Structure 1
């Protein structure tokens, strides 16, 4: 679902920061829980909204009202002893990043220790080759992923693993408090793009420090130690030509010292075999290795880290808040003193009086602030769509019966046309799939109910319209609101 999309109302507020979005989400969770437990009343919340509206003044934007109202609601909850004592904590990225940076640098130093034996540097050493090869593989993976994702940033397995681990670490701190559990269930999805970006930032900068640690270790040891360079291998001991080809390809990928490679011949390579010769002075090879590590590992990783840093800083200061949700719509409407006109448009589903009564009750609970419903006649495949009134804040609710089987040429075309018309009228479109008939018919077969819901969900998702499964003869408005927010 698009965030912060009110048609012509896109000037409602400036962007939210991550901290502000966290405050709003936490307040929303506490508020809904307190109302459910009857710690506070809707009337008290209305009073808070009205007081905060007067406080911020008529010229304030919606963002300022929401933040002021959030503090007001928290004050109200504290006065009622309805606030969870333990607040949600953010992930300590600075601490985690610092630990990774230190470990990476130390890892680079230790890699040199494992690569050097008796002051001899083996050009075929797996640790040295592995560092370079791993980074090249990462760059290829990023390029392929970006290409196939049409420019979107890839999400690698390592990043997914760390994101999942950090989220588990974060949610375990809830200690069974229902408010915190609910908060993290809502916050996790919103936080995920930022979390992945920060993990990418940490991993890239850590990889750069790993390379710097390797360079520093070799350079410092080379000051007081005479290194010799050569090679040894079980599989290539009698194949100097193959070793020559490999060294030219791998160590010559950065052409900064052509003289070093021009002198290489199979005979020279054979003399560099530690098993039959004594190797060569390592100074020119170490310089070449420094160039390779710098240009293949350090510099690209720093650039990728800076790119990830820029993305995370942008997300931090433009954090998505779903202002189309029922919760924020009701606050906005009270702030503006508007009436929500809810236009009900059923498709191939004549509404009984009982279902209409259920919709009225459901709508009034969903929108307790100044709302009224109007019912359009049931639409069919060849029916002209009804007019959508302009001038009021309007929400169009298309109603389908779950007993019907969705088809792209029928229900799909209706949704696409209705969505286009709703957008032209600057109205918000939602879809309700009435489960009452299907539940009555298949109450004893929960698997069939689940399969039909999955069928409808898979059908509706590509249209980009929020939807909910609702038993309109016994509607649960809170459950429906939660479904609308998740869709």
Structure 2
């Protein structure tokens, strides 16, 4: 079933699982929902369709009565707005970070730039290891599940909401984990886009110079490290624009010291750095976000709700008979007893069910009772003071089964 259907089913289960019942959802409401779903789908409907239809009908009656139901049912299932906010927030964070750490020149050893690349590479490594290991839920899924469980406990003042939250946390944990992954990947991609935008914007409106400075490393070590780390960007722009990275001597000339300020144009380095961010951060994160979106979309349409539990087993009613055929035994029923029986049967099978009362079966005729009409549900009516006897009542029931 899909997400909205599962929400309705679990919310109704929360109402019907309260030990003392709920004033907004009475026993008569339960019977009505069961009858209405059965009449809508027929007697042979699969359990899942019946459970979903019953919950849908119940929400129509519950929503005007209860604020909790209105909040849960009206909650949007699509996360499109959240995805847009995550991407925009990441872009603003990247742009702001670049603005805050910007100096007099473009530092080729910028901790912001290399920290962003290192963090994303660490995330990719962790994802690859998690994929290879397989097994149970990952830390993100466990964290979200724990957060939902805490929310359910805090909602304990409303036991319906707490019951729904606890059940929903278990059923929707994979879906929520996929949606959280989508938001995180979009935010990471946005941070890369914001950082690239900040770099290019500064290069567009300022005469920006590039250089590097370090106390512990020499020029050859830094040059070799940058040549290896920026190899994808160097190769891409060398192919597309014909720009080649500087050699060792040219790179050494970029070193900034107290006696030598940054003097080389930052234009090629801005392009190389921007290309590296796009290749290592933006494109992979967008690809991962797309995968998470597809996964979440599939999970939202196929939530694995276990319908084999006792609660759902009890929901599936027996087929509605064409009529109720009552066979009084040994004594005719009082008119008041017939009216009471009719009320009980109406609660189970609807008020339109015909009720037929057969002539009294005399004591001693248990082996030859009349046959009930075709399609009717046979009901034996005995006096409340009668004691069940194998030689009498058991023989009567056996004979009715054969009739």
Q: When the two structures are superposed, what TM-score results if normalisation uses the length of structure 1?
A: 0.57
- Distance of aligned partners of 1:282 and 1:32 in 2 relative to their CA distance in 1, 3 Å threshold: same
The offset of 1:156, in angstroms, is 4.2
Residues 42-68 of structure 1, C-alpha deviations (whole Å, 9 max, x = no match): 676345423421232356444442233
Find the aligned partners of 1:224 and 1:314 in 2 and give their Cα distance.
46
Gaps of 5+ in 1: 1-15, 338-368, 370-487
Is contact 2:144-2:176 (8 Å) kept?
Answer: no
Name which one, 1 or 2, has greater alpha-carbon Rg.
2
Backbone CA RMSD of aligned residues:
3.2
1:145 maps to 2:141:
no
Instruction: Check conservation: 1:198, 1:309, Cα contact below 8 A.
Output: yes
Q: 1:228 aligned to 2:209?
A: yes
Q: Distance in 1 between matches of 2:146 and 2:24?
A: 35
Aligned to 1:461: none
Q: Secondary structure at the match of 2:106?
A: strand
Aligned equivalent of 2:253: 271
Q: Distance in 2 between matches of 1:263 and 1:300?
A: 28
Q: What is the distance in 2 between the residues matched to 1:86 and 1:41?
A: 17
1:256 aligns with 2:236: yes
CA contact (8 A) 1:35 1:41 kept: no
Task: Give per-residue Cα distances to partners, 1:452-485, cap 9 Å, x unaligned.
Answer: xxxxxxxxxxxxxxxxxxxxxxxxxxxxxxxxxx
C-alpha distance in 2 between matches for 1:40 and 1:111: 54
Distance 2:94 2:26 in 1: 60
Residue 175 of structure 2 is aligned to residue 191 of structure 1: no
Which residue does 2:220 correspond to in 1? Answer: 241
Please state whether the residue corresponding to 1:256 is helix, strand or coil: helix
Q: Is the 8 A contact 1:227 1:281 kept in 2?
A: yes
DSSP-derived class of the 2:318 partner: helix
Partner residue in 2 for 1:127 = 112
Distance 1:285 1:243 in 2: 15
TM-score normalised to structure 2 length:
0.68
Larger relative contact order (CA 8 Å, sep ≥ 6): 2
Q: Following TM superposition, by how much is the alpha carbon of 1:325 offset from its aligned partner in structure 2, in angstroms?
A: 1.2
Stretch deviating more after TM superposition (25-34 or 202-211):
25-34
Structure 1 residue 102: Cα displacement = 2.6
Q: Which of the numbers 324, 333, 336 marks the counterpart of 2:308?
A: 324
Q: Deviations over 1:59-117 (max 9, x none)?
A: 644444223322444567689xxx65423545884554444333211111122223421
Q: Secondary structure at the match of 1:229?
A: strand
In the alignment, which of 48, 52, 62 is matched to residue 67 of structure 1?
A: 52
Tell me the CA shift for residue 315 of structure 1.
0.7
Indicate if the aligned counterparts of 1:240 and 1:269 stay in contact, CA closer than 8 A.
Answer: yes
Q: Are the aligned partners of 2:151 and 2:165 in contact in 1 as well (CA < 8 Å)?
A: no
- Match of residue 158 from structure 2: 177
Alpha carbons of structure 1 residues 19 and 212: separation in structure 2 relative to 1, 3 Å? same
Residues 78/106 of structure 1: CA separation in 2 closer, same or farther (3 Å cut) = closer
Question: Helix, strand or coil: the match of 1:226?
Answer: coil
Distance in structure 2 (CA, Å) of the matches to 1:75 and 1:107: 44
